[in-house]
Structure 1
Amino acid sequence: MYKVLIVDDDPVQCRLASEVVERAGFTPFVANSGTQAMTLLQETPGIGAVLLDLVMPEMDGMAVLEAMKRQGHAIPVIVMTAQSSLDTVVSAMRLGATDFFVKPVSPERITVSLRNAMKLGTLETSLAAERARRSGTFSFSHIISKSPAMARALVLGKKAAASTIPVLIEGESGVGKELLARAIQGSGDKSGKPFITVNCGAIPANLVESTLFGHVKGAFTGAIADAPGKFREAHNGTLFLDEVGELPPETQVKLLRALQDGEIEPVGAAKPVRVNVRVISATNRRLLNLARDGLFREDLYYRLNVFPIYVPPLRERMEDVPALVETFIARFAAEEGRRVSSISRDALDLLMTHDWPGNIRQLENAIFRAVVLAETPVLQPADFPQILGLRRGADEARLPGPSLFTPAEPIHIDDAPALPRLPDPEPIVIPDRFLDPTGNLLPLAEIERDLIVFAIEHNAGRMAQVARQLGIGRSTLYRKLKEYGLENDVA
């Protein structure tokens, strides 16, 4: 739940504003002076908005706005004052105020302004995180988490960011392993450098080696040009190997060499290529269990598992759900043009009681669906029929039950079975038009005969066009037709 800081030297105004803030579903904090307000901003995390009176003794509202701007507090500020001067409004807005109203003001006006300010602040935070993600400067401050269960993962991530040690991130699907990897990169020496993501489980087995290490022109059928591969794309940056446990055994050998020697060998290349890449890997299954079962090389496991970080599932850090919900609501409402601003207490309680087998990704999709279908600005329990169906029974759900894309119950990574490895597909053999079945070259006359037959069929028997495309005269064409016994076929 968001916190609102009320700054006013009038006790009556503070009490009235506190009641309005509580009725709006927020937690009020009161400061009777500008100095006390700055102290609370420093000591109280999670303040989402400020209701600020301009006229106060000693440090007035304008001085508070200047101090907040100077100290980098990017918190929406709603200014309250008895003065309606245009100069005052302009000055406050220039210092960062997001709204302005003259006392007395109705409770409804304060509530609407607060919700708009919260939404704006959340959306700005989300946009800042997206910009940082795209620029390679995503840091731990952009990760939304207040849970003690997540604190250890963040501490380990910050330590990993200070070095180039290989990192293995373990956790269930949808817990945010890639975000943690981006934060490690964005907080270290490789900030702003390439961050290349490879989902090892989504690449066909016969293309994994070429995708990772690249290939040269002509290395195999279809290799019509050189391809650098993901390692060279990530040169001087970070390569994130997601679902690394799904790599085929033959690729694991080459990956081990690349990690040990800093060299890769593109498919078909005559010599290796040196690369400077930091590898961060992730898996939703315990690599130790896969190595024990013979599905993953032990030497590669020990090479990757130098600095393991375990990301707990969402059900073990439910304290993060309210902040995540607010962020998703602001983002999807802006993207879809929906007038959804918050979630009701009953709906939030409903989400807090769910196990979330698909973790944050499932929560994100649930909020997306609710924002699109919501009939009111505040999300209600009825906007989550799938969750209601699990809690109260399928009869009360308006739509079908849980999505088939997530398991019905949570599965811990220690108990997650290995995915079955599909056999490599049989290569498609395309016969060469210049070779006979034994692999020897065909006679020139036979190749020429087949070419003439093809040209005649391709041009529907138009002999002038056939001769022109073959680059010979019509008399020469008819002579060759007679020579190869084709004149009767043409006639």
Structure 2
Amino acid sequence: MTHNVLVVDDEPKLCDLLASALSQNGIAVFTAGNGLHALKVLESEDIDLIISDWRMPGMDGPQLLAEVKNRYPQVPVIVMTAYSTVKNAVQSMRNGAFDYIAKPFDIDELDITVSKALQFRDILKDNQRLRAELDEQAQIDSLIGDSPSFRSVLQAVDSVRESAATVLLSGESGTGKEMVARAIHKHGNRADKPFVAVNCAAIPEGLLESEMFGHRKGAFTGAVADRIGRFQQADKGTLFLDEIGEMPLALQAKILRALQERVIEPVGDTRERKVDVRVIAATNKNLLEAVANKEFREDLYYRLNVFPIPLPALRERVEDIAPLARHFAHTLGAAAGKRITGFSPQALQAMTRYSWPGNIRELQNCVERATIVASAGVIEEQDLPAYLFAAQTADSSAPLSEINGVPADLEAALAEVEKAYILAALQQSNGVQAAAAQLIGISERSFWYRLKKLGIHVDKIVR
């Protein structure tokens, strides 16, 4: 395993000396001239260990140590100083330093101290990985439901899990697309290999290519070292491309080539790298409509749509609401130190009447709130959030264009419903768009798109 070590010292010659010594042990070394520069490196690189001088201009060693313990508590720090008094050493250890070394130092002593710190870091990483695997298993276990529409999803997962076919998961936000992707990976023949998830809508467009394919040192401003991308991280495993419909057109061609030829080219490199990756993509957009509007490449769509799995909205599997709610109440109640045994009939009735525009994610958030509020082991109707009941009242009013129970203009009717939910979310979040998007279970980018499409001006809603 290659480790990344950050050396922080205002003496360039010492930084070079340490970089040379550590690189002989296969360690990738980053350098910084002071604490402020070090924090910038930490924001962009996955650092396993920091070796920091005690006295530096700007932000010194003790200040940097305090910031690291606050922002990156699992990254060990070794303090080095020419002013190595017992007082300084003891103070640094009390403040959270892993160890200290004195200048001038012996290279063998440095190697031993660095080796111990990196072993410590590896143990922490293993613990994180194990916790993540437990969380992942909990997510997979929440693939709960016996409705006909959800049984078809489970059958599709069972059919495709052992193959290398590209899967396209489609459905509204919050329907559990990532949970299904993890289930396909966990129960397939790549289960012991990495599962790497990328939210294509959450990464700035200028960084997306580097994030996907990696980059070479010096490829652009800020590229201070080589970095592997998500395709290489997922080699031999599964790459989950969430919200693939939000990917810029310029990058879609490169994704298509990676899928077709199984090769990638890091930014700033001319050499191709082979990758063996099983791709699962997900979208809440109508990709065929996006293709027709020239917003998504047709060839990439057909490359992704090898094995499509549509996920039903929660309102289309009402019979699954109760078992899902009980599952969330049990797991979330245990995490909060409460023993929740179930729901009252009135609470379950209120939950089944609600349309759940945020789907499973919204249901989970609702149950989490209810477990906190509940004063007994059974969640009652009054423990549920008020918006469940307000929405049921609003749902009773039909669009004016309705004829014999069927809207004459389906698109207009759907737009009115969508607009009502967005306005309600904005009202509840006091006009904070990021919070409103989270309330209804969609990404900020998707929320902004809907505001524009529906002609909603936020400054006119909440003042």
Aligned pair in 2 of structure 1 residues 282, 419: CA closer, same or farther (>3 Å)?
Answer: farther
Going from structure 1 to structure 2, the CA distance change for 1:327 and 1:213 (only over 3 Å counts) comes to: same
1:376 shift after superposition: 2.4
Match of 2:227 in 1: 227
Question: Post-superposition, which runs of at least 4 consecutive aligned residues in structure 1 deviate over 2 A?
Answer: 130-142, 338-341, 388-393, 400-411, 415-421
**Distance in 1 of aligned mates of 2:389 and 2:232:** 48
Cα deviation 1:329-379 (Å, max 9, x = unaligned)? 111211112343321010001000000000000000011111111222211
Instruction: Look up the equivalent residue of 2:319 and give its one-letter code.
Output: E
Change over 3 Å in CA distance of 1:266–1:420 after alignment to 2: farther
Please report the TM-score for the alignment, with normalisation by the length of structure 1. 0.54
In the TM superposition, residue 153 of structure 1 has moved relative to its aligned partner by 1.6
- Written as runs of structure 1 = structure 2, the 5 A alignment for 1:244-393 is 244-384=244-384, 385-391=386-392
Distance 1:409 1:267, change over 3 A: closer
Do the aligned partners of 2:174 and 2:441 also contact (CA within 8 Å) in 1? no
The code of the aligned residue for 1:364 comes to Q
- Percent identity of equivalent pairs: 43
Shift in CA distance, 409/224, structure 1 to aligned 2, threshold 3 Å: closer
Q: Secondary structure at the match of 1:268?
A: coil
TM-score by length of 2: 0.57
Residue type matched to 1:309 in 2?
I
Q: Report the 3-state secondary structure (helix = DSSP H, G, I; strand = E; otherwise coil) of the residue aligned with 1:202.
A: coil
Aligned to 2:206: 206
User: Are the structure 2 counterparts of residues 275 and 357 from structure 1 closer, same or farther at C-alpha, using a change threshold of 3 Å?
Assistant: same
1:263–1:273: 8 Å Cα contact kept in structure 2?
A: yes
Q: Deviations over 1:92-148 (max 9, x none)?
A: xxxxxxxxxxxxxxxxxxxxxxxxxxxxxxxxxxxxxx9795597789776211111
Offset, 1:416: 10
Root-mean-square deviation (CA), in Å? Answer: 3.1
Aligned ranges for residues 454-465 of structure 1 at < 5 Å? Answer: none
1:400-439 matches, within 5 Å, as 403-404=428-429, 405=436
Letter of the aligned partner of 1:311 in structure 2? L
Higher Cα radius of gyration = 1
Structure 1 residue 283, shift from structure 2 partner: 0.1
Listed one character per residue, the Cα deviations across residues 379-410 of structure 1 (whole Å, up to 9, x for unaligned) are: 111111221233358xxxxxx97555369999
Aligned pairs for 1:29-108 within 5 A: none
Mapped to 1, the partners of 2:247 and 2:156 lie a distance apart of 26
Q: Aligned partners of 1:138, 1:340: CA distance in 2, in Å?
A: 18
1:418 positional shift: 6.1
Contact persistence 2:340–2:379 (CA under 8 A)? yes
Deviation at 1:420, TM superposition (A): 9.5
The amino acid of 1:229's aligned partner reads G
> How far off its partner does 1:192 sit?
2.0
Letter in 2 for 1:169: L
Shift of the alpha carbon at 1:163? 1.0
Q: Residue 285 of structure 1 contacts residue 418 of structure 1 at CA under 8 Å; is this kept in 2?
A: no
- In the alignment, is the contact (CA less than 8 A) between 1:195 and 1:240 conserved in 2? yes
How many angstroms apart in 1 are the aligned matches of 2:272 and 2:450? 32
Q: Distance in 1 between matches of 2:278 and 2:338?
A: 41
Distance 1:263 1:419 in 2: 36
- Partners in 2 of 1:241 and 1:410 — Cα distance? 18
What runs of 5+ residues in structure 1 fail to find an aligned partner? 1-129, 394-399, 422-491
Secondary structure (helix, strand or coil) at the match of 2:236 reads coil
TM-superposed deviation, 1:149: 1.0
Counterpart CA distance in 2 for 1:233 and 1:410 is 28
Which residue of structure 1 aligns with residue 119 of structure 2?
A: none
Aligned to 1:157: 157
Tell me how far apart the structure 1 counterparts of residues 330 and 141 of structure 2 sit (CA, whole Å).
19
Letter of the structure 2 residue corresponding to residue 232 of structure 1: Q
Find the residue that maps to 1:144 and give its secondary structure: coil
Structure 2 counterpart of 1:389, one-letter code: A
Q: Quick one: distance in 2 between partners of 1:409 and 1:199?
A: 18
Q: 1:325 to 1:282 in 2, by over 3 A?
A: same
Distance 1:211 1:409, change over 3 A: closer
Give structure 2 stretches of 5+ with no counterpart. 1-129, 395-422, 430-435, 453-463
**Equivalent in the alignment of 2:73:** none
2:198 is paired with a residue of what secondary structure?
strand
